[in-house]
Amino acid sequence: MTTNAVSLKDVSLIFGGQDTEHVLAVDTINLEIPQGQFVAIVGPSGCGKTTILNMLSGLIKPTVGSVQRHGQEVQGPSRDIGYMLARSALSPWRTARKNVELGLQIHGVGKSERKERAEELLELLHLEGFANAFPSQLSQGMRQRVAIARTLAIDPDLWLMDEPFGALDAQTRLVVQAEFVSLWEKSKESTVIFVTHDLEEAVLLADRVLVMTARPGRIKSDNLIDLPRPRVIDELRFDEKFKAAEHKIWRELRDEII
Amino acid sequence: MKSSNNDPADNTVGVENSETEKRFDLTTLPTETSAQKLIRRIDLPVQLTRIAILAFILWIWQSRKIFSGIKVFGVEILPEIIPLFQGVPTEAWDYVTQVWDDSLFWQDFWVTLQEALLGFLYGSLSGFIVGMLLGRFKRAQKVFSPFLIFTNAVPKIALAPILILWYGVDIGSKVALATIIVFFIVQIPVMAAVSGVDPDLDTVATSMGATQMQKFKLVVIPGILGPLFGALRLASIYAILSVVFGEFLASKRGLGQRLLYQINNFGMGAAIALMSLLAILALIFNAGIGFMERKFLRWQDDTTRGNVVSL
């Protein structure tokens, strides 16, 4: 039997204590994700979506339960995880290329190799002309693409994406989503966990959409999205099968929001 | 070209797509020659106004008009000063030409420079390190902050006589005074700036498995350079101020010591020359820091960098 890329067993997390009241952020989550699956998690704000990513990335530990990757308990940050935050969080003093190199520099990769890898990724994300620009000189869409490049530069096995395109305008978002999904489709067998509040985005991109309840976060439903790959994101939006899938999940999500 | 179909989304109506379409040609814009650029940079009206103001100040000072009893609402704001206590620019200039070839003067200059540089170096280095560690490790900050707040509240100039007893009348006591004063000027803003570094940058580095040392190097230090340079500019001026004060109290050599001697002997022209020299020294310090700042903070806009000296 092969072990799953990610598995959560009876995971609960409690915030606060001491001076503040205890808050149950996520409640008894059980989840198995096989290698190479693209999973989107949708749910109302504050339902613990980001908390799940933080536990998987090793930034925080669950209060009870077990978080495992490839059958191994997660002990702390790991070098084969790429974690992208909602805000691009680029270092303003680093050029686009140097920002992409950050993870490689932390991992002790040599200068010339770093540069080569960063340039390769910037080209994939259509930013080759902006390698030496500082973040303040880039548009928001470009900054977000630099952040994607930084996340993927370390060649992670697990991609954790926390509402990565939430701040982009509708058109830019479509372009960046399409770039992202094609990067993933080209990558062999990388697992993606993509947190979003945007159901359309979740259904467009993912193989599987998990709907979470309002706090305390529980998994309400687990839906496989049976749409062919490679996906043409901008056209897929008008596809009847897509619309039906989105509508079905929307009914689940609506009860949690309203 | 008008399209004849009835597609409601057809948007070509009214758009002329001929090859003779008129467009703005950027190459027709006049280009600036290097000589024109230089003239624009120098900005002659500004320079001339500056020179005129300086000349006016020197003239009014030289002619001793400044002391002639200006009255505001019938109250004399400047008291009558006897000519001996006035000192004019030509006297100051005479002093400069007189000491220029005097090796004893340059020894004094070197003593003061050394005191200020060492005090600046020790104070800013220790302030930087302590500020960074306490900003980063909140529990340590909790432990030490009452001590630091109290020490900072002590009027540090009042420590000068004690420091002279402890470190002697040579440069040691002046370096110690400057170190203490500079320490707090740097430590407090650095500590505050560390807390202000974007926590997302820290999260990103942590999630990539960065060690604490790597985070200092890649996130914290670059993140606080702006406030650090601001503090260093201020510290450089205070370093000179404190060593001059230290020399006033007790010293064998130094520009402050010379200054006090001149004032005690009514050498007002010499005193003005020495004070101007100390000011120039502070400006050179400042320009050096400004140079480093421009080098390290290339990513910031020119407008967001503080410019104490802009010539």
Answer yes or no: is B4 within a domain. no
* Confidence at residue B153, expressed as pLDDT on a 0 to 100 scale: 93
Residues B76, B49 within the same domain? yes
pLDDT band at B18 (very low <50, low <70, confident <90, very high): low
Residues B225, B122 within the same domain? yes
Contact A77 B209 (CB under 8 A): yes
Distance from CA of B229 to the nearest CA of A (A): 15
Residues B107, B129 within the same domain? yes
* A42 DSSP β-pair partners: A196, A211
Residues B126, B148 within the same domain? yes
Nearest CB to B208 within list A87, A93, A103: A103
Contact B205 A87 (CB under 8 A): no
pLDDT in tens, B19-43: 667 888 877 888 878 888 888 888 8
Residues 189-208 on B with a CB inside 8 Å of A are: 198, 200-201, 203-208
Confidence (pTM): 0.80
Residues B48, B140 within the same domain? no
Beta pairing, strands A208-212 & A64-69: unpaired
Instruction: Tell me the C-alpha distance between B173 and B247, whole Å.
Output: 9
Answer yes or no: is B135 within a domain. yes
Query: CB–CB of A218/A12 below 8 Å?
Result: no
Among chain B residues, the shortest Cα distance to A98 is held by B218
Residues B226, B100 within the same domain? yes
Contact B203 A85 (CB under 8 A): yes
Residue B20 has a CB neighbour count (10 Å cut-off) of 5
A118 or B13: whose pLDDT is higher? Answer: A118
Residues B67, B95 within the same domain? no
CA dist list (Å): A4 to A11, A81, A142 = 16, 15, 34
Report CA torsion sign: A42, A47, A51, A52.
negative
Q: Which domains does chain A have, with CATH numbers?
A: 6-80+156-257 (3.40.50.300), 87-155 (no CATH)
Contact A102 B209 (CB under 8 A): no
Answer yes or no: is B36 within a domain. no
Answer yes or no: is B10 within a domain. no
Answer yes or no: is B69 within a domain. yes
Nearest CB to B200 within list A76, A87, A150: A87
Mutation site, B198, B208, B211, interface A, largest A CB count within 10 A = B208
**DSSP letter string, chain A:** -PPPSEEEEEEEEEEEETTEEEEEEEEEEEEEE-TT-EEEEE--TTSSHHHHHHHHTTSS--SEEEEEETTEE--S--TTEEEE-SS----TTS-HHHHHHHHHHHTT--HHHHHHHHHHHHHHTT-GGGTT--GGGS-HHHHHHHHHHHHHHT--SEEEEESTTTTS-HHHHHHHHHHHHHHHHHSSS-EEEEEES-HHHHHHH-SEEEEEPSSSB-EEEEEE----SS--HHHHTT-HHHHHHHHHHHHHHHHHH-
Residues B75, B102 within the same domain? no
Mutation site, A102, A136, A151, interface B, largest B CB count within 10 A = A102
User: Which of A46-50, A83-87, B20-24 has the weakest average pLDDT?
Assistant: B20-24
Which of B61, B81, B101 is the C-terminal boundary of a domain?
Answer: B81
Instruction: Tell me the C-alpha distance between B272 and A225, whole Å.
Output: 83
Answer yes or no: is B153 within a domain. yes
Q: Is A79 on the interface with B (CB under 8 A)?
A: yes
Residues B168, B69 within the same domain? no
Measure CA B118 to chain center: 17
The CATH number assigned to the domain holding B162 equals 1.10.3720.10
Residues B93, B49 within the same domain? no
Answer yes or no: is B32 within a domain. no
* Confidence at residue B309, expressed as pLDDT on a 0 to 100 scale: 38
Domain range holding B135?
87-301
Residues B144, B269 within the same domain? yes
* Confidence at residue B34, expressed as pLDDT on a 0 to 100 scale: 85
Answer yes or no: is B58 within a domain. yes
* Confidence at residue B214, expressed as pLDDT on a 0 to 100 scale: 93
Domain count within chain B: 2
The answer, yes or no, to whether residue B84 has pLDDT greater than 80, is no
Residues B210, B293 within the same domain? yes
Query: CB–CB of A101/A48 below 8 Å?
Result: no
* Confidence at residue B304, expressed as pLDDT on a 0 to 100 scale: 47
Q: Is A77 on the interface with B (CB under 8 A)?
A: yes
Share of chain A above pLDDT 90, in %: 36
pLDDT band at B3 (very low <50, low <70, confident <90, very high): very low
Distance from CA of B167 to the nearest CA of A (A): 43
Q: Is A105 on the interface with B (CB under 8 A)?
A: yes
